[in-house]
């Protein structure tokens, strides 16, 4: 299976004065939601759709809980998740507080197997508009 690509025209965000250029980007072919994952998982094992849904809900809850306690969540061979923040800089340590936090994000670090999977991806130009 090949991942479809598309052509997009945009400016370099580091230098908006430069003219727009064409870039290759991935083209989404749809999405899969929580219920779909539960259904697909149930078809691959003996658990019911409801059982799989409950397990996925518990997993979601437990991942968010662990992240809120500052833990790194290692998700099997998929990779790890970790909370990261950006803050405003201050001239003294005393000036820092929780109000210094300006952005929160979740970092995902793929496992070696996922990186290998990415290297092996094949692409198609089916989405290119000539």
| Residue 95 located in a structural domain | no
Tell me the two tokens of residue 113. 């197997």
The answer, yes or no, to whether residue 130 has pLDDT greater than 50, is no
Tens digit of each residue's pLDDT (9 = 90 or more) over 23-50: 888 888 899 999 999 999 999 999 999 9
Tens digit of each residue's pLDDT (9 = 90 or more) over 54-70: 999 999 999 999 999 99
What predicted TM-score, i.e. pTM, was given to this entire model?
0.77
| Residue 83 located in a structural domain | no
Instruction: State the total domains in the chain.
Output: 1
| Residue 7 located in a structural domain | no
Supply the range of the domain harboring residue 61.
33-66
């Amino acid at each position: 299976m090949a991942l479809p690509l598309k052509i997009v025209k945009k400016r370099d965000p580091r230098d908006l004065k430069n003219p727009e250029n064409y870039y290759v980007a991935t083209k989404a072919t749809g999405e899969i939601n929580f219920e779909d994952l539960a259904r697909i998982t149930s078809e691959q094992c003996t658990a019911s759709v409801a059982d799989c849904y409950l397990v996925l809900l518990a997993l979601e809850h437990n991942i968010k809980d662990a992240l809120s306690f500052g833990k790194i969540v290692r998700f099997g061979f998929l990779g790890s998740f970790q909370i990261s923040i950006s803050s405003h800089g201050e001239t003294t340590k005393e000036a820092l507080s929780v109000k210094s936090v300006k952005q929160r994000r979740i970092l995902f670090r793929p496992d070696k197997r996922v990186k290998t999977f990415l290297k092996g991806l094949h692409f198609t130009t089916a989405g290119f508009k000539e």
